[in-house]
Amino acid sequence: MLHSNQFGNNFLWGVTIAAAQNEGAYNAYGRGTSIWDQFSKRKGKIKNNAKPYIACDFYHRYKDDLLLVKALGFKVFRFSISWSRILPEGVGKINKEGVLFYHKVIDECLQLNIIPFITLYHWDLPQALENEGGWASHQLIKWFSKFVTICAEEYGDKVKNWIILNEPMGFTSLGYMLGKHAPGKTNMVTFLSAIHNAVLAQAEGGRIIRHYVANATIGTTFSCSEVIANSDKQQDIAAANRMDILLNRLFIEPALGMNYPNADFAFMDKLHLHTKAWKYTERMRFDFDFIGIQNYFPITIKHSSIIPFIQATDIKAKTRKVPYTALGWEINADSFYRIIQKFAAYENVKSIIITENGACFKDELKQGIIDDKDRILYFEKYLNSLLNAKMDGLKVDGYFAWTLMDNFEWNEGYNARFGLIYVDFLTQLRTIKNSGYWWRSFLTN
C-alpha cells in the first residue's frame, strides 16, 4: 500500500491555497482592489457571474483552516500574499493591517509546526497598477521589486521558503492575450511585454529574497503539460514542438541562462524582436534552489492553419475517449512522470517540488459525506508515478496538493471543486472529503 514514508523522511508534503481564491475580505482592513475584483464585475467573464469578494473567508477563518491542515497531516502550507492587501495602490503607502494579517498567518503556522511557503505573486495584481499598464508596463519591475522587498523585510526572519511567481504562462496568456482571465486583454504587443516582464520579475524577485532573507530557499513555479503530437505527420510534430515552447520552455530557459528558445516559429521571432528594444535582458537569469512544477494534464496537438502564429490546436480528452476530470482535463499519471523527467533533465535544475497537482470532480454532499472516489484514485495514480520518479533518481523533493478546500476557481467561479475539504459557500461550513481522510491516512498512519 502506498505510504508517505516510501518517499523518505525529508520529502515535503504540503497543501496549497491562493489569496485571491480564498481570503475574501476584499474591500476591508485597508485592502485595495485587485484585477480579479474588477474583472469579476464584467458580465459573462466568470461562470454564474461569481465574484471573489468572500470566497472561503480565509481572512477570518485562517486559524480553523490551519488546524485542518494540521489534522490532515500536512507539514507544509503554501499560501500567497495579496499585493493589494500590502500596498492598496500597488505602490506608496503600506497597509499595516494587511502586513499584520500575514504575520498572524505565519505565526499560526509556526505554532502548529507547519512550514510556511510564501508565494509572492499568485495572479492578483492591484487594479491601480493595471490602470498604468499592469504586467505590460515598463514600470512593472520597479513596482514588483518594491512589493517583494517589503515582504522580505517583514517576513524574512520567520519564513525561509519563497516562491516568486505562480504560473507566469498562465497569467500572461490568459490575462493579456486570450482575455479569459483578469485583466481580460487581447493584444499581441501587450502579451509580449507581459512575458518579458514576468521573466525579468521572477529573476529579480529571487535576487531580492536572496539579498534580504538569510538562508532562504527560493523557487518559482511553472504550469507544465506534456505535449503529444496527434500523429507522426511532420506538420503535427512541428505544431506540438511550437506548443511545447510556449507551455514548457518559455519561462524556465531564460531563468536557467539559456535565453528564450530559438525555433522556426513566428511567435518566437516576434518575442526576440520585441525584447531587443529592452535593456538588461541578461537579468533574466537566477539560480533558483528549486523549480515548482504544476501539472494537471497532458495535451494532444495537431496542426491547424487557422490558428495564428502557433498553427496548432488541442484535441479534447473526451473526443479521444480517454479518462478526464469534470473540467475535461485528461487524467494521465504516466504523463506526470514524463513531465518531471523533462524538467529534471535541465542541467541547472537543482531540485523539483510539485507545487500543485490535483483534480476537479463533481462532488456531492450526501448525509454529511463527500465520497470522492475518483479524486482518491487520481491521487493514488499520480503519487505512484511520483514515487517511480523518486526511485529512478529524479530530483523531486516535495509534493503540494491543490487544494486545501474548494474555492474561487478563477473564471470557473465556484463551480469547479478541487478541494480536499468541501465548502458550502453560503454558510462557509467545511466538510472533510473522503480524499482528505485518505491523505490523513497516507501521511500519518
pLDDT for position 279: 63
Report yes or no: 319 and 308 within 8 Å, Cβ to Cβ.
Answer: no
Collapsing DSSP to helix, strand or coil, 335 comes out as helix
* CATH number for 279: 3.20.20.80
- Indicate the number of domains in the chain: 1
Report yes or no: 294 and 223 within 8 Å, Cβ to Cβ.
Answer: yes
Q: Alpha-carbon distance 136 to 44, whole Å? A: 25
Per-residue pLDDT, averaged over 4-30, amounts to: 98
Report yes or no: 225 and 297 within 8 Å, Cβ to Cβ.
Answer: yes
pLDDT for position 129: 99
pLDDT in tens, 280-336: 678 999 999 999 999 999 999 999 999 998 999 999 999 999 999 999 999 999 999
pLDDT for position 280: 64
Domain hosting 425: range is 4-444
Per-residue pLDDT, averaged over 126-151, amounts to: 98
The catalytic residue positions are: 167, 356
Q: Alpha-carbon distance 55 to 41, whole Å? A: 15
Cell digits of residue 76? 507544509
pLDDT for position 317: 98
Residue 141 has pLDDT above 90, yes or no: yes
Per-residue pLDDT, averaged over 110-116, amounts to: 99
Instruction: Considering only residues 1 and 108, tell me which one the structure prediction assigns the higher pLDDT.
Output: 108
Q: Alpha-carbon distance 57 to 63, whole Å? A: 11
Residue 278 has pLDDT above 80, yes or no: no
pLDDT in tens, 212-237: 999 999 999 999 999 999 999 999 99
Q: Say what percent of the chain tops pLDDT 90.
A: 96
Per-residue pLDDT, averaged over 90-99, amounts to: 98
Cα R_g (the chain), whole angstroms:
21
Residue 277 has pLDDT above 90, yes or no: no
pLDDT in tens, 201-215: 999 999 999 999 999
Of 74, 254, 81, 100, which is closest to residue 163 (Cα–Cα)? 81
- Please give the single-letter amino acid code of residue 89: E
Q: Say what percent of the chain tops pLDDT 70.
A: 99
DSSP-derived pairing of the beta strands 396-402 and 161-165? unpaired
